[in-house]
Amino acid sequence: MTWNIEIENIDLKKLQYEESLFTLGNGYLGIRGNLEEISNDIIKKHKIASIRGTYINAFYDDVKIPYAEKSFGYPETSQKMLNLIDTQTIKIYLGDELISPFTGEIVSTKRILYLKKGYAERIMHYKSPKGKEVLLTFKRLVSFKYKELFSQEVIISPINYYGEVVIISTINGDVENHVDKSDPRLSHNHSKCLHLKSHQIYKDYAYMLSQTESSHLKVAVFSETSVNCKNKKEISFNNNEIITKISFNLSSLTKVSKRNMYFDSLRYGEDLIKNTLLKFIEARKITFSELIEFQTKYLQLYYNNCDIEIKGNEHLQLGIRFNLFHLLQSVGKDKYSNISAKGLSGEGYEGHYFWDTEIFIFPVFLLTNPNIAKNLLLYRYNTLDLAKKRARELGHSKGISYPWRTIKGTECSSYFPASSAQYHINADISYSCILYFLVTNDLEFMLKYGAEIVFESARLFIDLGHYNKNGFNIFGITGPDEYTAIVNNNYYTNVMVKYNFKWAVKLYNILKQYNNEFKQLTNKIGLTFAEIKEFEKAEKEMYLPYNKKLNIIPQDDSFLDKPMWDLANTPKEKFPLLLHYHLLKIYRHQVCKQADTVLAHFLLEDEVDIDILKNTYHYYEKITTHDSSLSSCIFSIMAMKIGEVEKAYDYFIDTARMDLDNTHKNTKDGLHMANMGGTYMAIVFGFAGLRIKENKLSFEPKIPREVESYKFKIKYKGRIISVYVNQDSYNIELKEGKEIKIFINSKELILGNKIKTIESK
Amino acid sequence: MTWNIEIENIDLKKLQYEESLFTLGNGYLGIRGNLEEISNDIIKKHKIASIRGTYINAFYDDVKIPYAEKSFGYPETSQKMLNLIDTQTIKIYLGDELISPFTGEIVSTKRILYLKKGYAERIMHYKSPKGKEVLLTFKRLVSFKYKELFSQEVIISPINYYGEVVIISTINGDVENHVDKSDPRLSHNHSKCLHLKSHQIYKDYAYMLSQTESSHLKVAVFSETSVNCKNKKEISFNNNEIITKISFNLSSLTKVSKRNMYFDSLRYGEDLIKNTLLKFIEARKITFSELIEFQTKYLQLYYNNCDIEIKGNEHLQLGIRFNLFHLLQSVGKDKYSNISAKGLSGEGYEGHYFWDTEIFIFPVFLLTNPNIAKNLLLYRYNTLDLAKKRARELGHSKGISYPWRTIKGTECSSYFPASSAQYHINADISYSCILYFLVTNDLEFMLKYGAEIVFESARLFIDLGHYNKNGFNIFGITGPDEYTAIVNNNYYTNVMVKYNFKWAVKLYNILKQYNNEFKQLTNKIGLTFAEIKEFEKAEKEMYLPYNKKLNIIPQDDSFLDKPMWDLANTPKEKFPLLLHYHLLKIYRHQVCKQADTVLAHFLLEDEVDIDILKNTYHYYEKITTHDSSLSSCIFSIMAMKIGEVEKAYDYFIDTARMDLDNTHKNTKDGLHMANMGGTYMAIVFGFAGLRIKENKLSFEPKIPREVESYKFKIKYKGRIISVYVNQDSYNIELKEGKEIKIFINSKELILGNKIKTIESK
């Protein structure tokens, strides 16, 4: 049971939330788990809270950002992930009666998401007003084999009804995006950006082609609906819809099959139909069960790399697998795409990519599927020129400045104090390049891509910061904690930049041996030795705030001087604070949306001693609201680090079950991808205490008493290392590759083929 | 000649700028100096840069503020001063030839603005393509007697043409506001907010009534055009225009008269036509010369109170009078209206009222026309409830928070770091209430209005600030200098708040003697003695930043730690910085848009000794761009204060001639009202060194060598005091009222009827 998400009964109030949970995707295509029979007209008629959604990763429209007061360097346009042509609808008539939750009776129903098989199923025993009963089984799948394919199946089994059945299967081009002006995390404008351009009806199938308003991207969907018995079929077009009507006589179990393939002009060029028709012709032959077979194999490989087995808590086990499944479904696997804050499961944050990728999701793939991780970095490399341009707009004569939120690589945020001011994203991306190098030893990548990012980012920070009596300072920026903005010397930023400088110098020294390739790079970007010296100096003199009295790290220069927010007397319904208090009030108090300094201590623990780390953790824990979904995973990891195992477990629960239990109350707008990555991280970096440093792999295995045991594997420099921890012992094993020196609880040892296991406790 | 603004020739490139200069108004109605013959259709046809404008003070529409990311407490709507029905157009045909700068020849032309007589004139010798020559004299006037009346006259004198003349005089309801997305100081959206609702054509005149889109305010204009000779007249309606066509035979000098009266539903109620028709019937009888007569008398009284006579520099003299004239034309004189940043002369800042009123304009009227000054404060009092509501939105459990920009009293800014964060506006308004009291001794005003503002503002600041080891701090706010945002302990704010606290306590002690009235007030607002104690404590413990090493006042806690902006190497065309650099770059450097700490030292000089004041002045002078038009007047005053007379003179020139010489290059969008007040202040507070403190009136007369002498009068506690200063001596005289103790250059003396003059030097 720890591989299936199951929901019994239908509760229309929870529909949007379930739609997110049951999203199917493959990193290219994402389909929310909408109900086949609740089409847009039904939604409007019955005023149902449902967000019908179909998305292609990186498929966007450019939309004008509205400003009442626009200043220099504000981005003119944003990108918006569009809701595409809707193929989910399959309506069924039993004679003259439409199957609908609003007329007949749903005797029983159940939805299942098969995490191992990669498809979803919904079983419904339905009784019409006139007493006709059938059992319906809806199946759906977004294929890992044919990434453009969304396949549906409905099996109709007669219970007491035998007679005429009419199927109405539609392709609906009249689609809009979801807008909600009450929540700053949702889109406020531009609901209608996709316009139907053409369609064609063939004998058995049809296609519809739409185009975006401003980016002029095209999307086409081919769709075919068929029934496995004698039937009458008509395809027609009316009012932006292609309607396939199939009538047949229901006499025994009957299968309705619908295959939809989504192609876009980003990947398939302008001549979209011509370039893709044959792909559809090929894919339509494959059966649903063949597709499941492929899904299962594909997922087996995936889980083999990344699954975390937890014993003693099925609830948690399921949460972890649910998250890993959705990460795979959401992450882009081509050069156009990355992973958006909500994956392909909803429209929150408009499908934008954030630093979430590098700090919360990248590590998962890096340790389990390094090729996917590499693709995430390549996406950044591909937008380097845009980041360079942005840096100039921000007034920097050199370096790069990556956008805070984006799809195609340009800044999409209208509120710079919590976007462009978050310069740390450049250090975060550099950090990930370095981490990739530390885990893979991929020198070629560094020479071709990674080092350039690290150098250009270092250049930016030289230009951004300045020297004063304290050393090298960075003023007027915003750290990860968005409940504080435009501050001086945010510790997180400074320490990450210090690391960026350090590695710029290191990489220079490492890579210069590779004469030709390195010369090519330094020539290309005009890097001089004088600059390397600058990096070295700035690294050495980087100012890092420290409070002696409290023996903690202040979040920034003035953070500790602010009055505390009275969290104890803030009513529960006033969270998240950002939806109930003016930012000015939030900014002038000590209150954190999420881990900031605590996150810095996770990423770069060697900058402080354990006492500072502990004190700092305790200090910020008291004033952190975790209003950001990026928070609890980091607090879990760091609670574990300082030995507060049970506390770590509590945070871990919040992390692992965030979407399943809808604890942030906005799962309806999409799943929290970074938190899903955080779940994995909470075990691997938290429970097992994994740390990756230069030529140093270390563990500090711990286990909360609520868990019997846990087990996972990681890939590291061509090796596979497995970790097993239970209440009495742990076992770290080299599964593949050459022997390697590791550290367990600071004790050095060689993990090799001969010394296969280490037990202890 | 120092009472007339004269411009020879016509330069269409400078049209917009001249339109602002030649604006006529009376505080209620404002008409830009557009050319009668360059109507909207001509503007469009010939793509002329012209902003045709007619405005009523406080007549607005509510417009939705667009946001891409909206957070809690952001205002939903703004107000916008609307461009109203256009009655300026008078086209003249000589036979079949339209008089137009695009066809015929303008042999000579000249525009004159008569500052003493309060009207404008334009003389044009015109020669048509066919060689017909006439001399045209256009006169126009916005009446101080009938505030709704805009009166026009055209005198046509034949030179070589005698024959048919056709006059096309229009009332155009098809009007829009000016929008420009490239400048944050201008409106970006909502050009069309006023819609024609009805019209009626009578025998001799007609009216047109329009209504705003959202506020549903109505405006009606009655208009009549006539000619003083035998003629044929037709009035018709076509395509949003009422057209009066008059044909006559030109045989000698002929006068065309046009009278337009603007009424709005704010002042005249919903039944607008019924309530105002008789007013028009009455006013249409008055002749243009009678109107001029009244204007002249009215202005005589005004100048008698406020004129500053400067000898030895006509250029400057004219600048000063031009400014005083426009201040009178712009300032609201009823309970609905205040004075907007651009007066009624243009659409920059959308007709909003700012702190400009209290700090830069109020003192002018206070010392010359205290009733107008009082009305400005009453406007604030009338919007107190809205300020209370706004304070709650910002999270304050008590007190008031006045909007940074507004017409009807609600916050109209979309960018809170440079609006709602500028909490100092509350202290500024309190300061003005106190100043009013110090100058007028108007206890009744304080009991009824002023004290309530001061108390409620003090309450706000108690809630805003907090105590730490330094004392009472105010964090996370923005001071007057908008090139720095969201800082801690902005000196200006803190010292103004300290003064606010001090006077809250003082007023409590002064007013408590007036038992009944005071009880009424304290009961109304629930003021307790405990609160007074709180104010007292906070005043005493107010933290004021000070830098010992430099012996200067830092603008805020971290200002001096920032790197300096490299002003020396910033190209001229990159000013104002805000149009050429991202705010983040500006914010993290030491660079000021305007006086901030220096302004604090003007308003509250006793908080520091003269050395600090001097050092501080010199420090900030080096890093101030004066990109704000509010800056040079204050630097002029303070340069004088520290004895840098010639420097003060240079700043004064920038101030006095800002609009006449278009030094900020945006006079086209309206005149700079605060700077116009600043011109007066630069002489009275700067040159003459006037300071008003509790029971202490003092002067430090100085004079730059470029000026022979200057002379002005002020009203103070029922007295009139005249000041005359020349290169050798000064003479301060009591013109009216009881004897009074004053200080001249720190020397106490009694100014009385007997001791009439004091000479010295």
pLDDT digits (tens, 9 = 90+) for B430-461: 999 999 999 999 999 999 999 999 999 999 99
Q: Give the chain B residue nearest A390 (alpha carbons).
A: B582
Render the burial of B674-704: b for 16+ CB within 10 Å, e for the rest. bbbbbbbbbbbbbbbbbbbeeeebbbbbbbb
β-pair partners for A258:
A152, A225
B9 or B227, higher pLDDT? B227
Strand order in the sheet with B231-238: B97-98, B90-94, B163-172, B241-250, B231-238
Q: How confident is the model at residue B752 (pLDDT cuts 50, 70, 90)?
A: confident
**Interchain contact, B468 vs A561, CB within 8 Å:** yes
Angstrom distance (rounded) from CA A725 to CA A313 = 15
In which residue are the tokens 């603005």 written? B113
Q: Which pLDDT belongs to residue B319?
A: 93
Using CA atoms, how far residue B498 sits from A317, B395, B539, in Å, is 60, 22, 5
Virtual CA dihedral for B393, B397, B399, B400, nearest 10 degrees? 0
**Residue range A606-620: mean pLDDT, rounded:** 97
The encoded tokens of residue A487 equal 């501050």
Angstrom distance (rounded) from CA A392 to CA A398 = 7
Phi, then psi, of A664 in degrees rounded to 5: -90, 0
Q: Give the chain B residue nearest A422 (alpha carbons).
A: B584
B704 pLDDT above the threshold of 70? yes
ipTM field = 0.94
The encoded tokens of residue A498 equal 């210090």
B133 pLDDT above the threshold of 70? yes
Tell me the chain B residues in contact with residue A71 when contact means C-beta distances shorter than 8 Å. Answer: 184, 415, 578, 582-583
**Residue-by-residue DSSP string for B210-260:** EEESSS--EEEEEEEEEESSSEEEEEEEETTEEEEEEEEEE-S-EEEEEEE
A394, A488, A584 ranked by CB distance to B394: nearest: A584
Contact A394/B at CB under 8 A: yes
**Residue range A234-249: mean pLDDT, rounded:** 97
Tell me the chain A residues in contact with residue B468 when contact means C-beta distances shorter than 8 Å. Answer: 561, 563
Q: How confident is the model at residue B157 (pLDDT cuts 50, 70, 90)?
A: very high
**Interchain contact, A414 vs B583, CB within 8 Å:** no
Angstrom distance (rounded) from CA B109 to CA B127 = 12
Phi, then psi, of B14 in degrees rounded to 5: -100, 10
Q: How confident is the model at residue A157 (pLDDT cuts 50, 70, 90)?
A: very high
Contact B394/A at CB under 8 A: yes
A499 or A179, higher pLDDT? A499
Question: CB within 8 A of B569, min separation 6: which ones?
Answer: none
Q: Which pLDDT belongs to residue B754?
A: 55
Sign of the dihedral defined by the CA atoms of residues B743, B747, B750, B752, in that order: negative
Tell me how far apart the terminal alpha carbons of chain B are, to the nearest angstrom.
32
Q: How far is B579 from chain A (nearest CA, A)?
A: 6
**Interchain contact, A70 vs B181, CB within 8 Å:** yes
The encoded tokens of residue A655 equal 């992390």
Angstrom distance (rounded) from CA A512 to CA A519 = 8
Contact B558/A at CB under 8 A: yes
Angstrom distance (rounded) from CA A146 to CA A162 = 36
DSSP A141: E
Angstrom distance (rounded) from CA A559 to CA A577 = 18
Contact A494/B at CB under 8 A: no
Tell me the chain A residues in contact with residue B417 when contact means C-beta distances shorter than 8 Å. Answer: 417, 486
Angstrom distance (rounded) from CA B701 to CA B746 = 11
Q: Which pLDDT belongs to residue A761?
A: 52
* Residue contacts between A and B (CB atoms, under 8 Å): 148
B759 pLDDT above the threshold of 80? no
Angstrom distance (rounded) from CA A230 to CA A249 = 8
- With contact defined as beta carbons under 8 Å apart, do A167 and A152 qualify? no
Q: How far is A627 from chain B (nearest CA, A)?
A: 15
Contact B573/A at CB under 8 A: no
Q: How far is B415 from chain A (nearest CA, A)?
A: 7
Angstrom distance (rounded) from CA A244 to CA A232 = 10
Return the closest-CA partner of residue B318 out of B15, B13, B18, B112: B112
pLDDT in tens, A45-88: 999 899 999 999 999 999 999 998 999 999 999 999 999 999 99
A449 pLDDT above the threshold of 90? yes
Contact B383/A at CB under 8 A: no
B181 pLDDT above the threshold of 60? yes
Contact A77/B at CB under 8 A: no
Tell me the chain A residues in contact with residue B189 when contact means C-beta distances shorter than 8 Å. Answer: 66, 68
Q: How far is A711 from chain B (nearest CA, A)?
A: 43
Q: Which of residues 460-489 of A touch B (CB under 8 A)?
A: 466, 468, 473, 475-477, 485-486, 488
Phi, then psi, of A666 in degrees rounded to 5: -130, 25
Angstrom distance (rounded) from CA A702 to CA B109 = 92
Among B121, B350, B456, B482, the active-site one is B482
Angstrom distance (rounded) from CA A735 to CA A743 = 17
Q: Which of residues 185-244 of A touch B (CB under 8 A)?
A: 188-189
pLDDT in tens, A730-743: 999 999 999 999 99
Q: Which pLDDT belongs to residue A757?
A: 53
Q: Which pLDDT belongs to residue B1?
A: 61
Angstrom distance (rounded) from CA A432 to CA A377 = 8
DSSP A66: P
pTM: 0.95
Q: Which pLDDT belongs to residue A754?
A: 56
Q: How far is B614 from chain A (nearest CA, A)?
A: 25
Q: How far is A26 from chain B (nearest CA, A)?
A: 30
Cis omega (within 30 of 0) on the bond before B158? no
A180 pLDDT above the threshold of 90? no
Return the closest-CA partner of residue A112 out of A293, A302, A312, A318: A318
% residues pLDDT > 90 (chain A): 93
| CATH fold group of domain B4-272 | Beta-galactosidase; Chain A, domain 5 (2.70.98)
- CA triplet B220, B223, B226: central angle to 5 degrees? 175
Among A18, A241, A456, A482, the active-site one is A482
A756 pLDDT above the threshold of 70? no
State the alpha helices, DSSP H only, in A627-710. Answer: 632-641, 645-656, 673-681
- With contact defined as beta carbons under 8 Å apart, do A66 and B68 qualify? yes
B753 pLDDT above the threshold of 70? no
For residue B127, how far is the Cα from the chain centroid? 40
**Mean pLDDT over the full length of chain A:** 95
B282 pLDDT above the threshold of 60? yes
Q: How confident is the model at residue B182 (pLDDT cuts 50, 70, 90)?
A: confident
A66, A473, A485 ranked by CB distance to B486: nearest: A485
% residues pLDDT > 70 (chain A): 99
**Residue range A5-18: mean pLDDT, rounded:** 92
Tell me the chain B residues in contact with residue A184 when contact means C-beta distances shorter than 8 Å. Answer: 69-71
pLDDT in tens, B244-267: 999 999 999 999 999 999 999 999
A65, A420, A584 ranked by CB distance to B476: nearest: A584
Q: How confident is the model at residue A720 (pLDDT cuts 50, 70, 90)?
A: very high
Q: Which pLDDT belongs to residue A514?
A: 92
B65, B69, B476 ranked by CB distance to A68: nearest: B65
Angstrom distance (rounded) from CA A520 to CA A325 = 41
Cis omega (within 30 of 0) on the bond before B545? no
Q: Which pLDDT belongs to residue B188?
A: 73
A185 pLDDT above the threshold of 80? no
- With contact defined as beta carbons under 8 Å apart, do A485 and A417 qualify? yes
**Interchain contact, B395 vs A584, CB within 8 Å:** yes
A191 pLDDT above the threshold of 90? no
Mutual angle of helices A632-641 and A645-656, in 10-degree steps: 160
Q: Which pLDDT belongs to residue A477?
A: 98
- CA triplet A180, A578, B464: central angle to 5 degrees? 135
Q: Which pLDDT belongs to residue B85?
A: 98
Cβ neighbours around B576 below 10 Å, total = 19
Tell me the chain A residues in contact with residue B420 when contact means C-beta distances shorter than 8 Å. Answer: 582, 584
A184 pLDDT above the threshold of 80? no
The encoded tokens of residue A219 equal 């999307």
A234 pLDDT above the threshold of 60? yes
Q: Which pLDDT belongs to residue A711?
A: 97
Burial class (CB in 10 A: 0-12, 13-18, 19+), B369: buried
Task: Indicate which of B460, B577, B583 best probes the interface with A, i.e. most A CBs within 10 Å of its own CB.
Answer: B583
E-strand spans in A414-538? 466-468, 471-473
Cβ neighbours around B523 below 10 Å, total = 9
Q: Which pLDDT belongs to residue B189?
A: 77
Contact A558/B at CB under 8 A: yes
Render the burial of A514-544: b for 16+ CB within 10 Å, e for the rest. eeebbeebbeebebeeebbebbebbbeebbb
B760 pLDDT above the threshold of 70? no
> What is the pairing mode between strands B740-744 and B696-699?
parallel
Q: Which of A7-11, A352-356, A551-555, B492-496 has the lowest mean pLDDT?
A: A7-11
pLDDT in tens, B549-595: 999 999 999 999 999 999 999 999 999 999 999 999 999 999 999 99
A393 has catalytic annotation: no
pLDDT in tens, B36-74: 999 888 888 999 899 999 999 999 999 999 998 999 999
> What is the pairing mode between strands A696-699 and A740-744?
parallel
Angstrom distance (rounded) from CA B267 to CA B218 = 10
Cβ neighbours around B152 below 10 Å, total = 23
- With contact defined as beta carbons under 8 Å apart, do B538 and B461 qualify? yes
Tell me the chain B residues in contact with residue A486 when contact means C-beta distances shorter than 8 Å. Answer: 417, 485-486, 584, 587
**Interchain contact, A582 vs B415, CB within 8 Å:** no
Using CA atoms, how far residue B757 sits from B267, B305, B696, B697, B751, in Å, is 47, 19, 19, 16, 8
**Residue range A166-188: mean pLDDT, rounded:** 88
**Residue range B363-384: mean pLDDT, rounded:** 98
- With contact defined as beta carbons under 8 Å apart, do A348 and A342 qualify? yes
Return the closest-CA partner of residue B681 out of B730, B742, B640: B640
Angstrom distance (rounded) from CA A548 to CA A560 = 12
Angstrom distance (rounded) from CA A627 to CA A595 = 10
Cis omega (within 30 of 0) on the bond before A576? yes
- With contact defined as beta carbons under 8 Å apart, do A118 and A151 qualify? no
Three-class SS of residue B672? coil
In which residue are the tokens 């659409």 written? B347
**Mean pLDDT over the full length of chain B:** 95
| CATH fold group of domain A4-270 | Beta-galactosidase; Chain A, domain 5 (2.70.98)
